[in-house]
Structure 1
Amino acid sequence: MSPVSTLEIARHAGLEALADGFCLADAESRVTYWNAAAERLFGIARAEALEQSLWSLLPGDTGAVLRERMVRSERGAAVVPLTLLADGELFSRHLAVHATRLDDGGTAVHFRDSTAERRIADQHAQLLESIRDGFIATDAEWRITYVNRAAEVLVSLRRDRAVGTVLWTLLPPDPPELAAAIRGTMVDREPRHLSAIHLELLFGRRFDAWTHALPDGGVSILFEDVTERLTKEMELARLAAEAEEASRAKSRFFAAVSHELRTPLNAIVGYTHLLATATYGEVPAGAVRASERASVCAEHLARLIDDVLLLTTLEIERLPVFPAAVEMEPFLGNVLPHLRQQAEAKGLAFSVDLPEEFPAVFADPERLRQIVTPVVSNAIKFTSRGSVGVQVRAAGQPGWMEIVVRDTGPGIAPEDRDRIFDPFEQLGDEARSDSANRGTGLGLTLARRLARHLGGDLGTGEPQGEGAEFIIRLPLAAQPATQLIADE
């Protein structure tokens, strides 16, 4: 309350109508005014209270504590709790006693019923006792008013010694940012958060700390021990770094070995071709067949090495992409002829369905070739009889197109439609019994990753009848999609 004279307050008739107790004392602490609510609260009549010492009228040591705090307060004001018992604790009433020094040296005391607030505070205290985080509260004069059980353990602060003590006499000086945060919250009433601080008294432990303003003018500090969490995060980061380094080492190994194997493999292919063509003179027919067989196996191994090298390149870094408008008719005219020859050599019908004046697709021509070729080759390779067809069509969504590859082979079971895109994954059937002819198991994996690298996708469709259907989906040149890489 603002400083006013004792006489002015005493003349205020409204004080008698207050539900809260109110009294005044002069500079010698003699009671000069005692309102009706104070009579009801303490059971002391006004006539008995007047001229008595204010501090002696307050129950227990309330008067002594209140006077001591007023002396130490810069503002000459203090607040203390007071419990009044009536017919036992069952009917106890809790008061908040506010005392203020007046300008004439007297004292004004306000007794406010805080029973409901005390019940809520007790509930909050029970909650604070049950949490694992440390909690400390102070009043506006920096005196500690509450320390929960967790704080005793986490920050080595005994509550029986801490309560009533000035916070700064117990708080370690390090780290200084903690004291700065607490003082800052006391001044501007804004909450603050500190991450992974280290308290000087607790070697090796790390805490997150939050400061909040309290309604009575004090502040609260909440401590969470994050040492174990930080340790786990550091361990996970270390393991992730090791895994990343192992992946890079594996990729470097594959790339180096692939390059080193290419030279002898090319030599094997070349020399077996020379033997088969009698460059060094006539050789027995059996030796010719053996050299041809060796050449086929060497070429198969070379394709495997090329695929592995491309796969590891995708794992190490993104392949360079140079997207442009690709006209489908000339593109397929360059890519499909040798695939048509492969199909016809097996006695398969090969068809291409390309609408006239179809819009250009937005893609890198070289990467698109690396997508279409293995998909069509895969269809030819695993189709024993019937046909293989390539269809270009507009997708259901505007701005997109699809290249559909259909065959009349053994088909793909629904449960295998995702598995076939895994590296080195192949489905078992009679056509795959020859390891030199069945492929590396990487073609579809690489094709899907490259399709996604171009902003599109590769998946399976629902063929009409027997066989399998693969759908390559890409953006049209008129509406390019954002490029992305989607690692499986």
Structure 2
Amino acid sequence: MPGIIVDLTRIPALEALADAFVTVGEDWRVSYWNAAAERCFGAAREAALGAPVWEALPAAAQPSLRARLAAVVATRAPLRVPFAAGGDGPALTLDASPLEGGGLALHFRDATDHARVAERYSRLLASIRDGFVAVDADWKVVYVNSAAETLLHVRLHKAVGASLLVHLPSEPPELAAALRGTMGDGQPRRLQAVRPGVEWLRGRYFDLSVDPLAGGGISLLFQDVTERQEREAELARLAAEAQEASRAKSRFFAAVSHELRTPLHAIVGYTHLLSTDSYGDMPQPASRAAERASVCAEHLARLIDDVLVLTTTEIDRLPVYPAPLKLAEYLNEVLEPFRRQAEAKGLRFELDAPAGLTLHVDPERLRQIVYALVTNAIKFTPRGHVRVGVRGTDGEIEIRVEDSGPGIAAEDRARIFEAFEQVGDDARTDSIHRGTGLGLTIARKLAGRLGGSLALEGGDGAGSAFVLRVPISAPE
């Protein structure tokens, strides 16, 4: 629309704008100049109308801006760019849009607040310890913060405008895939402990966040986590060494236990023969000494047996041989010695095992668990009762060993399952009478080997209840 001047009376809304608004025709001459444009650029409307826009707005005459405005006319794609009007005027943002009949509409907004916000965010990005890089839709770097300059050994003036694709490492492939993926679909992506295949990074590791930018392009936020990776690798090495040391300890205990069992059992046998006058009459003090030696040797033999079971459980070599088992008949037979022991102590012993319950389990391992639980219940219950109850539910059998003893304090409930840990009354000061401190440890490990669990119920002062749960069908 060359030579046409817009009638101001027809567009009063544009006159009311606080922003400068200018239109130019196809011949690049000013066809409209509102009152805000007069104030903003210091040019009277009469002087601006009909003049080439490059004269009315000298700042628009810069070759780069002229080319971009021409592209708006050619492609009809809107443009938003910073605009420096010169002088003491405020910073502006120019929105250039094509007009339907030809020419352009130029809308100049005060960008002071926007610039202030942008400067604040720029200072924030510059101050963070993580690297930050912004890339436009054409893969051109538009921003690099100071942390990124340090981490990547680049300088802002050299990085901005460079193509990220040219400098993108080929290794690892997931790095390039994440950047291309977010650029393509706009979905954020996260990578951990990425090690770019670039020699000058000297094998450093980075955590990377790739996010889309509102105006197109992507942002990269990355943190150097090399020290963290090195610490984790060192911890993994130490853990492996500790595990190997534990396995070596278990193998040592197993070997020593095997070697000690034979002579200890011989000592037990010979001292028993001595204490029972099998070799002839012995003085009474000698018989008592032999009996005491026999008791001590039996205690050591039990300790060796417990250590052997514990170590073989720890290194997963304990054999398990499941077999069909009628539980009521089995427990009646296994617990009969304990019934007599409890009654001799003045305790009431109860067994409640419904007939007909059958499960597939290793009888010997189950016996070891039940022995440990019932022995403890009788040993540490001064009066009252010991009760063994059985019930089947949800594909498993529950064996509950209850006592009316003093219970176990809350602070001791976790550690009673630890090896060599013992809690209780003063009667446990004698090592022979208090046992090895391995019974519950072994019982819980054996429960796990059978595919079940062992837990403690009951509170301080209200007795204790140990609950063993094992599947009706033995696990593979």
Aligned residue in 2 for 1:3:
none
SS in 1 for 2:65: helix
CA change 1:68–1:451 in 2 (3 A) is same
Aligned length: 462
TM-score relative to the length of structure 1: 0.75
Aligned residue in 2 for 1:167:
163
SS in 2 for 1:336: helix
- Hey, what's the Cα distance between the residues in 1 that align with 2:279 and 2:61? 118
Conserved in 1, the CA contact under 8 Å of 2:377 and 2:386?
no
Give the C-alpha shift of residue 313 in structure 1.
2.9
Give the C-alpha shift of residue 369 in structure 1.
1.7
Alignment of 1:217-232 (within 5 A): 217-232=216-231
Q: Identify unmatched segments of 5+ residues in structure 2.
A: none
SS in 2 for 1:228: helix
Conserved in 2, the CA contact under 8 Å of 1:66 and 1:99?
no
Alignment of 1:13-28 (within 5 A): 21-24=21-24, 26=26
Give the C-alpha shift of residue 373 in structure 1.
0.8
Q: Does 2:472 match 1:471?
A: no
Give the C-alpha shift of residue 168 in structure 1.
4.1
Of 428, 431, 454, 1:432 maps to: 428
Conserved in 2, the CA contact under 8 Å of 1:25 and 1:31?
yes
Query: How many percent of aligned residue pairs carry the same amino acid?
Result: 46
Give the C-alpha shift of residue 335 in structure 1.
0.9
1:233-283, Cα deviation, whole Å (9 max, x unpaired): 222222222222222222222222222222222232233344445566665
- Hey, what's the Cα distance between the residues in 2 that align with 1:207 and 1:261? 55
Aligned residue in 1 for 2:82:
81
CA change 1:16–1:450 in 2 (3 A) is farther
Letter of the aligned partner of 1:374 in structure 2?
A
Give the C-alpha shift of residue 341 in structure 1.
4.0
Letter of the aligned partner of 1:210 in structure 2?
S
- Hey, what's the Cα distance between the residues in 1 that align with 2:7 and 2:137? 30
- Hey, what's the Cα distance between the residues in 2 that align with 1:188 and 1:255? 60
Give the C-alpha shift of residue 304 in structure 1.
0.8
Conserved in 1, the CA contact under 8 Å of 2:131 and 2:151?
yes
Letter of the aligned partner of 1:81 in structure 2?
P
Give the C-alpha shift of residue 391 in structure 1.
3.6
Of 178, 181, 197, 2:195 maps to: 197
Aligned residue in 2 for 1:31:
29
1:118-154, Cα deviation, whole Å (9 max, x unpaired): 4543443243233221222233444433222222222
Conserved in 1, the CA contact under 8 Å of 2:408 and 2:460?
no
Letter of the aligned partner of 1:111 in structure 2?
H
- Hey, what's the Cα distance between the residues in 2 that align with 1:173 and 1:418? 52
SS in 2 for 1:436: helix
- Stretch moving more, 71-80 or 410-419: 71-80
Give the C-alpha shift of residue 330 in structure 1.
0.8
- Stretch moving more, 205-214 or 301-310: 205-214
SS in 1 for 2:434: coil
Conserved in 2, the CA contact under 8 Å of 1:70 and 1:76?
no
- Hey, what's the Cα distance between the residues in 2 that align with 1:237 and 1:70? 61
Aligned residue in 1 for 2:443:
447
Q: Does 2:153 match 1:156?
A: yes
Aligned residue in 1 for 2:403:
406
CA change 1:200–1:411 in 2 (3 A) is closer
- Stretch moving more, 171-180 or 421-430: 171-180
- Stretch moving more, 193-202 or 65-74: 65-74
Conserved in 2, the CA contact under 8 Å of 1:419 and 1:425?
yes
CA change 1:189–1:425 in 2 (3 A) is closer
Aligned residue in 2 for 1:63:
62
Letter of the aligned partner of 2:215 in structure 1?
D
Give the C-alpha shift of residue 83 in structure 1.
4.3
Give the C-alpha shift of residue 397 in structure 1.
11
Q: CA RMSD in A?
A: 4.6
Aligned residue in 1 for 2:456:
459
Conserved in 1, the CA contact under 8 Å of 2:408 and 2:459?
no
- Hey, what's the Cα distance between the residues in 2 that align with 1:400 and 1:432? 32
Letter of the aligned partner of 1:149 in structure 2?
S
- Stretch moving more, 212-221 or 9-18: 9-18
- Stretch moving more, 36-45 or 286-295: 36-45
1:202-229, Cα deviation, whole Å (9 max, x unpaired): 3343223333332323332222222222
CA change 1:255–1:442 in 2 (3 A) is same
1:389-448, Cα deviation, whole Å (9 max, x unpaired): 32426699998745233256x665554444433321223645334322321111122224
- Hey, what's the Cα distance between the residues in 1 that align with 2:5 and 2:362? 93
Give the C-alpha shift of residue 230 in structure 1.
1.6
CA change 1:99–1:403 in 2 (3 A) is closer
1:154-204, Cα deviation, whole Å (9 max, x unpaired): 2223224444x2334984655485556445544443434444133544334
1:30-82, Cα deviation, whole Å (9 max, x unpaired): 42644548845534456544565544544547733323667999969765311
Give the C-alpha shift of residue 353 in structure 1.
3.9
SS in 2 for 1:437: helix
Give the C-alpha shift of residue 324 in structure 1.
7.4
Q: Does 2:229 match 1:233?
A: no
- Hey, what's the Cα distance between the residues in 2 that align with 1:12 and 1:295? 123
